Structure 1
Amino acid sequence: MKRIQARWKLSALSCALFTFMSPTWAANNITETSTTDSAPTQTQPVQTLATLKFAATPNTAKDPDISAVAKTIVTREEMLQFGDQSVNDALRRAAGFQMPTPGQGPRGGGGASGMRFRGGGAPVFLINGEAVQGGPRGGMSIVDSLTPDMIERIEITKQPSVAQASVASSAVINIILKQPLNNTRLSGNARVGYGLAKSDQKEEERKNISVQLDGRDSPWLYSLSANQMWNDSTSITQTQTSTQTREQKRITQRKSQMLSPRLEYELDDQQNLVAELFYRNNESEGVRGDQIQNDQNDSIRLNTRYERKDQGNSDKLRLSVEQQNETESTQSSLLNSYTDERINEYGIGYDGVRKFNETQQLKFGLDARANELDSNVSQNLDEQLYALYAEGSWKFTDRQTVTLGARQEWINRSGLVEYSDHHLSPVLAHRFDFNDTWSLQTNISQAFLSPKTDRLLPTVSVSTDSDAGSLNNPDRGGNPNLRPEKITAFESTLGYNTPSGGINITAYQREIEDYIEKVIRQEGSRFVERPQNQDNATTYGVEISGRYALKQTKRGNSFMLNGQLSTVRAKVEDENHQQRLVSDVAPYTASAGLSYNYQPWQLATSVNLNYVPEFTRALDNQPYDRTSNERVNMDISITKRFTDGWATTLNARNILSTDYKERLTYQTDGSLYESRINQAIPSVLITLEKKF
């Protein structure tokens, strides 16, 4: 308790000494509640670039949120502007994320669940305010199946907020789905894409089809989103020890489907009922030598809501149910395993907002969820989660706003884990606007983060490739003995924002007791990676992000430039008071994007460059250092629009990319223990689109 109090004092002192802040330049869009679309015309690309939001327009929303908690908004126009094909493509431009390049990494990279943020765990993903999850052990989620055509905007809340359960998480990503166009009974677009990547020994073929339909027939609003993807690849992994070098070929066939109908009924101008259904299925078959790996993950989720909005006041009642199944089968001459797990989730929640006047606002709500997990290889696990929250904001001068909130959570687990606990998480945020362009925002919080269900299951997922079960490519499993993390966080951002863009500098620090880290231990003849509590950890760093936009000129030129640099230093102190850096967090990442539109030709182009430096980290309780190589990646997108709603897009991914290399060396003399290389390969995807 003394240590927590000391940290609070330190945070307060830090706040007084060097409080940096303002919401990110895009946070100025916090007043934006929807993005305006238009019927497909020849001038649509011009409208898209001209309406990029870099600062709020006072009349955009009658009752803007006055919370001092910063929020970043990525609009659908921006995603299309940059040629994004997925949510991950859009998030890579947001400062603070460390995302693996697809096809790289020990297991080929990953989707949303593979991201890191400020030395913490993966962000929490919401769809229209409802939490979504991956498979029982972090498999593919609905988020991985969404395309920009299905999305209205993405709201990123990096700082702690009790309203969206982001107090202890690294960030909350709320994906708002697209609303039908006004006065249109049916409109939409269809896309087909084909991509090919090939080198001497490695090849990847991608095909996808997506359809987005929506319309209005008062009082009904309806939409349907669907996509189908195929991805067949042949990859080469090279492993090396002090005595031999081996190459292993792996052939993988993947296919996935997503179907999402949505229906909304407007009771009157203030009230409406919403029902959303998400069906997702993902299948993968991989062959490596005599080993065959078959994985399948599918889910169906129903969200229903009652919504009422009256000026600044609103009420939302949420009901949800989801069932998902995940199977993994590994067959070889040395190993045969089969895992079959199912999760049933039921949820109910309420969110309310009361705006008493232009300077005072209150958010409050409750959340209750029940999970049932059935497994054929371990005990069943039942989980109940309950939460109450309240957050008040007061704009006590024309330029200063303070937000104070608290979230009380209860959790009960039974079966595999017998666990019961409750925590109170307070948050204090302050924003000061020096003038119309400069602002300063600070956030202090204390929170608890209970381990997710997939981290508790002891089930082992077997790795592939010739070095499966080694230190460089361990099997994966959970740990039923995990304790919750206790987090004290301080964050502050100084921002300069104008209608043409701006720059923001964020400084942050997190003190974490019982920090959960993925560590590798030998179990029998194989190495297994499992989450494990460390005594405590400290993560801190600085993020710099900026954008500049030249809106439409008389000659039809439009230009946008963005860039970000994110640093993070994550130190762990074990039970013996020995300190080291966390093994899988790069010291910094950098990215830059350039976008240019030429209206007379209806041509939109963008280039994005990402960089991760080489870094070396000691492995926990192992006599080795792991070195990850320097990596560069470039993506290029070119979109050409034609008459009658036709368009074609060329996406070139992993241009100039470097291979992903990991090297383990002895700490005593620096000699090689083992290494592995995953080859990077450029790919080209051509997409044909028709709007109607």
Structure 2
Amino acid sequence: MKRMPFTFKLSALSISLLGLSVSAFAEDLAKTTPAPEAAVQTLPTMTFEVEQAPAVEKDPDISAVAKTIISREEMEKFGDQSVNDALRRAAGFQMPSPGQGPRGGNGSMRFRGGGAPVFLINGEPVQGGPRGGMSVVDSITPDMIERIEIVKQPSVAQASVATSAVINIILKEPLDGTRVSGTVRAGYGMAKSSQKEEERKNISLQVDGKTQPWMYSVSANQMWSDTDSITLTEDASGQVTSQKRVTNRTSQMLNPRAEYAIDDQQKLVAELFYRNNESEGSMRDQIQEDKNDSLRLNTRYERKDRSGNSDKVRLSVEQQKESQLTQSSRSQSYTDEQINEYGLAYDGVRKFDQTKQIKFGTDLRSNELESNITDTLDEQRYALYLEGSWRFTPRQTLTLGARQEWINRSGLVEYNDQNLSPVLAHRFDMTENWSLQTNVSQAYRSPRSEQLLPTVSVSTDSDAGTLNNPDRGGNPYLRPETINAFESTLGYNTPAGGVNITAYYREIEDYIERAIRSEDTLGQGCSNSNDPSCRFVERPVNQDNATTYGVEVAGRYALKQTDTGHSFMLNAQLSTVRAKIKEDNGTERLASDVAPYTASTGLSYNYQPWHISSSLNLNYTPEYSRQLNSQQYNGELYERTSNERVNVDLSITKRFDRDWAASINARNIFSTDYKERLTKVSDGSLYQARSNESIPSLLFSVEKKF
């Protein structure tokens, strides 16, 4: 079936928006002033009042692109210990399940069935290791964060247009006149069952202060984790193999920051991120050591006047080293890779009046990826963007932007490309509470550097290198994805909470999916996968075409503290996704590793007289089956089935006098194990099954503010 060109979609949406604008403009002619704010009604029979949002300065940004804010106050109420804890309450994110993945660790986070979201720290992109290792985001604690801004719809001002969500972590600034203040936290966690035993210790420090014209801050944390786990595998004959793995991990992170206020409109900022992560695992006669070091320096000049006009110049340097050593009686492999990245960017905002603004800027980046196994990969990226917003009636805003990007790769891959990504967004505030936001875009996503490296990362279980637990590598011949996206959100929001319903549709050409093939030691394909010198390796490949679509429903409601000291907050989200891949022969199948939907809910309760706050969070993923891909292995197609999973977390915090506090965080309570079954499509017979136990864990922590 011939694909309808994207220009028609754009025209159809423009006509719809025009019709909506004309009808709303006629309404505004009859009533030129916005609807008055609804009066707060006091009900004498009730003992509680609707919680009002804290008084904050109104964001002067009039862009029609939607933005979700997660505040530090909210993270404290829910007992969040990491950025992932906060994101699990935001619709559209498929969070990794405990024990998920062939290596017994956490699987990757997905956004609406696509790739991982793009993380920014104070507006600056951060990356993982050369082969997708941990980044500084994994080491940031809620004590360091002021708020988290989530942009789910494309904006040309962001580092990613239509490829995934953009998550901007804004670090905390100290209060005026506070020379030294901070938080010290120490924690001890444990988990134990017949199949797993884990001990975890961590300590973190957050110190900051502000004396004009200086602001300074230091954040540091250290973590130790020792784990003994058992993975059970079952083959076609019914034989069950028990595999014990011992893993010891250490991680450190140090983040000093400083700001110098030149005057009331200008400042200079410098922040340094250092992170080190080491892991040593053993299994029978096999030992695997992983190391990841990263050092990143961000500097910037910021200017913002009272009218909202601003300029920002950003200069960044980052170096990351990642190595993996795997030793056994049969073989030994060692990879050592390093990324050096340099970035220079400018962002500007100009406001002509209260109804018109433009954003513009440029982003120049160069990085070099060195490997002891493959040729060096050099990459240069350049981008220019312009985005204008116009509030053409008191209730309607239109945003139109475009981002032009150039990319050049040399060394391992010789590749040059350029593309233009347009975005059109419209927001209609029907009343003070009801709104409709629509966004349409076309964008390109070039493969990341680590996706291009052919280096193979070896699995460690007893079934390592099998079809159900393949090794992993990259593909230097990947083509960029072309993404046409449409999204619309109907929202009802009040100071106490609200409900947002989002429908989205994405059509993706050259969709990048991870596929499995049998390879020999030289990386060449094996015609006979039963050859003992061959192993199964999972690599990203381009599929002809894919579509992802679904509906998200997210809501929250909060009641402020009553006269007797009770208060609570309730939130829930349901996110559905349908990801279909169209093969070259015209057949369709569902993407191999995308759950059909996820659901979660959370309840936060506080009792002020006892200074106790608590939260309960529930996550649910249904059972689903997907073909691995359209490729046959030894003449057979295979289907992987993941079981239904429930995960429950509970956090309780008690605050004492003199700024002391103690917390108990119970993770994976009443949770289900993660199980996978790989069966033949022809007759449904079992090829292999594996099970990772979900173990309840307790983390005790003590906190002291000063």
TM superposition score normalised by structure 1: 0.93
Q: Distance in 2 between matches of 1:389 and 1:570?
A: 30
What SS class does the counterpart of residue 73 from structure 2 fall into?
helix
Deviations along 1:579-607, one digit per CA (max 9) or x if unpaired, are: 10001000000000000000000000100
Aligned equivalent of 1:252: 247
Contact 1:239/1:677, CA 8 A, preserved across alignment: yes
1:234 aligns with 2:228: yes
Q: Distance in 1 between matches of 2:690 and 2:391?
A: 55
**Where do 1:188-267 residues align within 5 Å?**
188-243=182-237, 244-267=239-262
Q: Distance in 1 between matches of 2:221 and 2:377?
A: 33
Aligned equivalent of 1:638: 652
Give the residue type in structure 1 aligned to 2:468. Answer: N
Q: Distance in 1 between matches of 2:434 and 2:169?
A: 28
Aligned equivalent of 2:701: 687
What SS class does the counterpart of residue 356 from structure 1 fall into?
strand
Deviations along 1:10-60, one digit per CA (max 9) or x if unpaired, are: 4654787899x9xxxxxxxxxxxxxxxxxxxxxxxxxxx999875x86xx3
Deviations along 1:530-571, one digit per CA (max 9) or x if unpaired, are: 000000000000000000000111111111000000000000
Q: Distance in 1 between matches of 2:578 and 2:284?
A: 40
Q: Distance in 1 between matches of 2:490 and 2:113?
A: 21
1:5 shift after superposition? 5.9
Q: Distance in 1 between matches of 2:576 and 2:183?
A: 40
* Residue number among 341, 344, 351 corresponding to 2:340 in the alignment: 344
Give the residue type in structure 2 aligned to 1:6. Answer: P
Aligned equivalent of 1:314: 310
Aligned equivalent of 1:6: 5
* Residue number among 604, 615, 639 corresponding to 1:625 in the alignment: 639
Contact 2:121/2:169, CA 8 A, preserved across alignment: yes
**Where do 1:50-61 residues align within 5 Å?**
60-61=56-57
Contact 1:475/1:528, CA 8 A, preserved across alignment: yes
Instruction: Check 1:50–1:81 CA distance in 2 against 1; reply closer, same or farther (3 A cut).
Output: farther
* Residue number among 579, 587, 601 corresponding to 2:588 in the alignment: 579
Q: Distance in 1 between matches of 2:589 and 2:667?
A: 35
Aligned equivalent of 1:26: none
Aligned equivalent of 1:275: 270
Q: Distance in 1 between matches of 2:386 and 2:683?
A: 56
What SS class does the counterpart of residue 387 from structure 1 fall into?
strand
Q: Distance in 2 between matches of 1:650 and 1:103?
A: 21
Deviations along 1:37-86, one digit per CA (max 9) or x if unpaired, are: xxxxxxxxxxxx999875x86xx326521000000000111111101000
Q: Distance in 2 between matches of 1:428 and 1:208?
A: 46
1:606 aligns with 2:627: no
Q: Distance in 1 between matches of 2:16 and 2:225?
A: 52
Structure 2 residue runs of 5 or longer lacking an equivalent are 21-47, 521-533
Aligned equivalent of 1:84: 80
What SS class does the counterpart of residue 184 from structure 1 fall into?
coil
What SS class does the counterpart of residue 353 from structure 2 fall into?
coil
* Residue number among 678, 681, 684 corresponding to 1:670 in the alignment: 684
Q: Distance in 2 between matches of 1:357 and 1:4?
A: 42
Aligned equivalent of 1:126: 120
* Residue number among 511, 514, 520 corresponding to 2:510 in the alignment: 514
Give the residue type in structure 2 aligned to 1:653. Answer: R
Instruction: Check 1:464–1:50 CA distance in 2 against 1; reply closer, same or farther (3 A cut).
Output: farther
Contact 1:15/1:442, CA 8 A, preserved across alignment: no
1:66 aligns with 2:80: no
Aligned equivalent of 2:290: 295
Q: Distance in 2 between matches of 1:460 and 1:603?
A: 49
1:541 aligns with 2:550: yes
* Residue number among 435, 460, 463 corresponding to 2:459 in the alignment: 463
Deviations along 1:396-452, one digit per CA (max 9) or x if unpaired, are: 000000000000000000000000000000000000001000000000000000000
Aligned equivalent of 1:182: 176
What SS class does the counterpart of residue 85 from structure 2 fall into?
helix
Q: Distance in 1 between matches of 2:693 and 2:59?
A: 52
1:99 shift after superposition? 1.1
Give the residue type in structure 1 aligned to 2:475. Answer: N
Q: Distance in 1 between matches of 2:190 and 2:92?
A: 31
Aligned equivalent of 1:434: 430
1:168 shift after superposition? 2.9
Instruction: Check 1:51–1:463 CA distance in 2 against 1; reply closer, same or farther (3 A cut).
Output: farther
Contact 1:641/1:648, CA 8 A, preserved across alignment: yes
Contact 1:348/1:367, CA 8 A, preserved across alignment: yes
Q: Distance in 2 between matches of 1:676 and 1:439?
A: 47
Contact 1:159/1:166, CA 8 A, preserved across alignment: no
Deviations along 1:193-213, one digit per CA (max 9) or x if unpaired, are: 000000023101110000000
Aligned equivalent of 2:468: 472
Give the residue type in structure 1 aligned to 2:616. Answer: V
Instruction: Check 1:294–1:560 CA distance in 2 against 1; reply closer, same or farther (3 A cut).
Output: same
1:101 aligns with 2:110: no
Q: Distance in 2 between matches of 1:192 and 1:249?
A: 30
1:139 shift after superposition? 0.2
Q: Distance in 1 between matches of 2:253 and 2:383?
A: 31
Q: Distance in 2 between matches of 1:471 and 1:526?
A: 8
Aligned equivalent of 1:497: 493
The share of aligned pairs that are identical, in percent, is 72
What SS class does the counterpart of residue 393 from structure 2 fall into?
coil
What SS class does the counterpart of residue 78 from structure 1 fall into?
helix
Q: Distance in 1 between matches of 2:626 and 2:162?
A: 26
Deviations along 1:99-156, one digit per CA (max 9) or x if unpaired, are: 1123332223438xx1111121111100000000010000010000000000010000
Contact 2:195/2:693, CA 8 A, preserved across alignment: no
Give the residue type in structure 2 aligned to 1:687. Answer: S
Aligned equivalent of 1:594: 603
1:660 aligns with 2:674: yes
1:181 shift after superposition? 1.6
What SS class does the counterpart of residue 84 from structure 2 fall into?
helix
Contact 2:402/2:420, CA 8 A, preserved across alignment: yes
Instruction: Flag the structure with more relative contact order, 1 or 2, with Cα contacts below 8 A and sequence separation at least 6.
Output: 1
Shifted more, 552-561 versus 527-536: the winner is: 552-561
Give the residue type in structure 1 aligned to 2:435. Answer: S
Shifted more, 588-597 versus 92-101: the winner is: 92-101
1:628 shift after superposition? 0.5
Q: Distance in 2 between matches of 1:425 and 1:78?
A: 35
Contact 2:197/2:229, CA 8 A, preserved across alignment: yes
What SS class does the counterpart of residue 422 from structure 2 fall into?
strand
Instruction: Check 1:528–1:53 CA distance in 2 against 1; reply closer, same or farther (3 A cut).
Output: farther
1:167 shift after superposition? 1.0
Q: Distance in 1 between matches of 2:494 and 2:615?
A: 22
1:182 shift after superposition? 1.7
Contact 2:146/2:171, CA 8 A, preserved across alignment: yes
Aligned equivalent of 1:163: 157
1:679 shift after superposition? 1.0
Q: Distance in 2 between matches of 1:439 and 1:163?
A: 23
Instruction: Check 1:3–1:160 CA distance in 2 against 1; reply closer, same or farther (3 A cut).
Output: farther
Q: Distance in 1 between matches of 2:584 and 2:223?
A: 47
Give the residue type in structure 2 aligned to 1:246. Answer: T
